[in-house]
Structure 1
């Protein structure tokens, strides 16, 4: 008689909300709509969002990803070029216009809001402090909205202590939208202690999706043997979720892009798994990971709902006359 192995029980605490936010959904939709309206190729400057699955899916549809506009062949100047959800410096659309390129700006409206907040500080005579991570596309884009020398990047407490302004009474700050809420609050407090006259932005810079996903992870992490975050290594909001899970009490927290990256030998025996996804990770990969655990464990899923998101950012008017099929919408929504 064949012996059947008994699977160990595993409870998966599945965070809600998780995955795609309204800004990511809009950016992907813009590329898909542009392909349907104008045909391939559609050029995309930088990864439209930080997710390899999404990028490869768009490449299969005819999108061509580039890092700089000079990579577009001269005979393809008529093809649309899409700017990524992270935002771009002012020099990029100016360069596009100089090259007579047709461009579509997929910058997340919440990133654009930070741009406006920074420009308002500068317009009112304040030196701008940008709290963020050096080299991140969003930081490059935000700094590129302002004249050189009018903005200083603050990454750490050491940067706070080392910053010497020309006029301590004329400062204003903004933040990258995808930062750790707790870490950012600490840096802001340190800045306010040193520069009590520093002005805050007119509205919170860290976006709703970042805050909601961090809160969901914080609530579900205590007691978890393992917490998996679905996301890319270059995704700031995904990496912050890993840190939040560790701080909130998960015994181990890992970032994975696909189920194939799960280090099964390293995981060992677990009974409670926390699971969430960064704002640029599609739901289909979350399903793939749950299926991978079902193959090894007797899984029960507990949905941990901490917020309901209803935000929707419409695409630009030039693309609103294009209809998407059910298959298109499944890809845009991350379910296919």
Structure 2
């Protein structure tokens, strides 16, 4: 087996590197991570976290090192230690169980996901059947469907699903979406639904969150001018995976999802003169910086930052952590 070629022996040919703006952490992810960090600081370790706080392996491992214990369900948590609910949201049954056990729990659900929950409850109270556009099994979808009684929400994942969806009886309809979907794919699904059900009302506000929309717009610009686009993010991150899809649809010859620089196969760069780099909303900036450093070690790289939306959104922490 051949030994790996050290970076110093590469030809260091010129390479343009375009950094997307915005990229990486959004306000909801930043808030969720802070909740775990502050809980450990205030209550000591261990602090339990139901599901991954956000979908990023590096974030989860760092929090484990601080004293977070990640579990699948509440029955794995003791009654006398704090538990944090992930940024993706949880079914109503989860906090209800925590209250019945008199547990101290902190809800790190992204406020924009909570907004979808509120809208779903409003539609249900008005007697509407809700079509949820999203991915089956994703924690956010599980959490949203768990806000209402079984049968109150129908999940639609594709245009094909939209074409075959059957209205339950004569119920009026409403729709909501997972916050991390492809904007363009969702528009196609919605167009199919509205063609069949013209009376379908719009939500008060767009469900796909500002951070997802901004990052997809930024990666579209990369895809238009880059042969290769690298998206930093974990494999189970929905918003990161969508960035790969968007880059390819925008015109990139190749787009790859990488957990970090060690995931890169440098043969992807063969024939590439311009590479785009971005990151999903749950990927920390140091991972992006390390990827840029790895590229610079192998190429005569000129790094430029694209213009894009400047995000100033921030969300308050729970009162239990600030009082």
Q: CA deviation at 1:161?
A: 1.6
TM-score (norm 1): 0.92
> Residues 20 and 282 of structure 1 are in contact (CA less than 8 Å); yes or no, is this contact kept in structure 2?
yes
> Residues 10 and 299 of structure 2 are in contact (CA less than 8 Å); yes or no, is this contact kept in structure 1?
no
Matched, 1:179 2:186: no
Secondary structure in structure 1 of the residue aligned to 2:105: strand
How do 1:38-53 residues align onto structure 2 when only pairs under 5 Å count? 38-53=43-58
Aligned equivalent of 2:279: 277
Q: What value does the CA root-mean-square deviation take over the aligned residues? A: 1.3
> Residues 168 and 197 of structure 1 are in contact (CA less than 8 Å); yes or no, is this contact kept in structure 2?
no
Matched, 1:28 2:33: yes
Deviations 1:41-61 (A, max 9, x none): 000000000001000000000
Matched, 1:84 2:86: yes
Matched, 1:99 2:89: no
TM-score (norm 2): 0.95
How do 1:311-326 residues align onto structure 2 when only pairs under 5 Å count? 311-321=313-323
> Residues 127 and 171 of structure 2 are in contact (CA less than 8 Å); yes or no, is this contact kept in structure 1?
no
Q: CA deviation at 1:162?
A: 1.3
How do 1:230-245 residues align onto structure 2 when only pairs under 5 Å count? 230-245=232-247
Q: After the TM superposition, which parts of structure 1 deviate over 4 Å for at least 4 consecutive aligned residues? A: 3-6
| Corresponding residue pairs, total | 316
Q: CA deviation at 1:101?
A: 1.2
Change (3 A) 1:244 1:103: same
Change (3 A) 1:59 1:5: closer
How do 1:56-135 residues align onto structure 2 when only pairs under 5 Å count? 56-73=61-78, 77-135=79-137
Change (3 A) 1:192 1:168: farther
Q: For the residues of structure 1 that align with 2:9 and 2:295, how far apart are their CA atoms?
A: 18
Secondary structure in structure 2 of the residue aligned to 1:221: helix
Secondary structure in structure 2 of the residue aligned to 1:47: coil
Q: For the residues of structure 2 that align with 1:169 and 1:192, how far apart are their CA atoms?
A: 16
Q: For the residues of structure 1 that align with 2:213 and 2:77, how far apart are their CA atoms?
A: 37
Q: CA deviation at 1:72?
A: 1.5
Unpaired segments of 5 or more residues in structure 1? 322-336
Q: CA deviation at 1:265?
A: 2.5
Aligned equivalent of 2:3: none
Deviations 1:207-249 (A, max 9, x none): 0000000000001211312100001111110000000000101
